């Protein structure tokens, strides 16, 4: 996925639900959990690792063991750093700084750009992402740079990267307000584009049901995680 073509997909990042007029309100803050260990995330990582292994073997195998061992931790660290970045350190963990020139697979960079604080004037709700990092494998800043250098060596082999964390802190209401319930992606709105469901499923977003109630999430975008997992696998491979 070319980042320049992202505009063709309706990844709105206004952070304000459209079509609803409302008077100014005191927003209720809703913490929404994100993670990098869903079935969709695992499918993407397996497919992407397979591509990296093939390329590294073609190039002589240098760095293969390091990549095999640390791909998941690399992506964990990017997500933890993104959450830390957009919450001002209230959640997540800073492994890399915004200005660090770290290579991020384009597909994953697009996903990260959707994670952030966002609000709905109509509902009077403000979402903030949270990530539990206890027990989550993260890399050191030194290993992040080492992994990034290996990835950047693949640019001439057809791999595409964004460099550095997304600078816009605003998240996507459409993604962050979804609810992953028993591996199915649900929304309270029937106008949300299905593209957002893939991202919500990847990060296993959850939290809004505690405020709106599970019964509000009647719109189901995927029958189960297998559908979204196959999509993520196809993109990565």
pLDDT value of position 195 = 84
Residue 236 backbone dihedrals phi, psi, to 5 degrees: -70, -30
pLDDT value of position 58 = 83
Q: Where are the beta strands (DSSP E) in 48-138?
A: 103-105, 118-120, 125-130
215: its two tokens: 């019964």
Q: At what angle do helices 39-58 and 195-203 cross, to 10 degrees?
A: 90
Per-residue pLDDT tens digits for 52-108: 999 888 877 778 899 999 999 999 999 999 999 999 999 999 999 999 999 999 999
10-residue averages of pLDDT along the chain (237 residues): 35 40 68 94 91 86 89 98 97 95 95 97 95 97 96 88 96 96 85 87 95 92 60 58
pLDDT value of position 7 = 34
pLDDT value of position 230 = 63
pLDDT value of position 227 = 59
Q: Give burial (CB, 10 Å; 0-12/13-18/19+) of 136.
A: middle
3-state secondary structure of 237: coil
* Boundaries of every domain in the chain: 20-236
Q: At what angle do helices 64-87 and 106-113 cross, to 10 degrees?
A: 20
Q: What is the pTM of this model?
A: 0.85
């Amino acid at each position: 996925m070319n980042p320049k073509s992202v505009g063709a997909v309706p990844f709105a990042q206004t952070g304000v639900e459209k079509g609803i007029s409302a008077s100014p309100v005191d927003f209720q803050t809703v913490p929404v959990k994100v993670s990098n260990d869903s079935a969709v995330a695992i499918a993407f990582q397996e497919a992407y690792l397979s591509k990296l292994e093939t390329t590294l073997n073609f190039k002589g195998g240098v760095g293969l063991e390091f990549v095999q061992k640390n791909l998941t931790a690399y992506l964990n660290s990017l997500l933890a750093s993104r959450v830390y970045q957009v919450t001002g350190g209230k959640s997540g963990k800073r492994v890399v700084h915004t200005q660090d020139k770290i290579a991020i697979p384009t597909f994953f960079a697009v996903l990260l750009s959707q994670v952030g604080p966002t609000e709905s004037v109509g509902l009077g709700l403000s979402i903030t992402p949270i990530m539990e990092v206890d027990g989550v494998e993260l890399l050191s800043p030194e290993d992040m740079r080492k992994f990034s250098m290996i990835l950047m060596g693949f640019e001439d082999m057809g791999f595409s990267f964004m460099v550095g964390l997304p600078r816009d802190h605003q998240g996507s209401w459409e993604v962050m307000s979804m609810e992953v319930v028993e591996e199915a992606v649900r929304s309270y709105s029937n106008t949300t584009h299905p593209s957002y469901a893939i991202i919500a499923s990847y990060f296993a977003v959850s939290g809004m049901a505690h405020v709106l109630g599970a019964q509000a999430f009647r719109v189901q975008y995927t029958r189960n995680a297998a559908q979204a997992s196959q999509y993520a696998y196809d993109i990565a491979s």
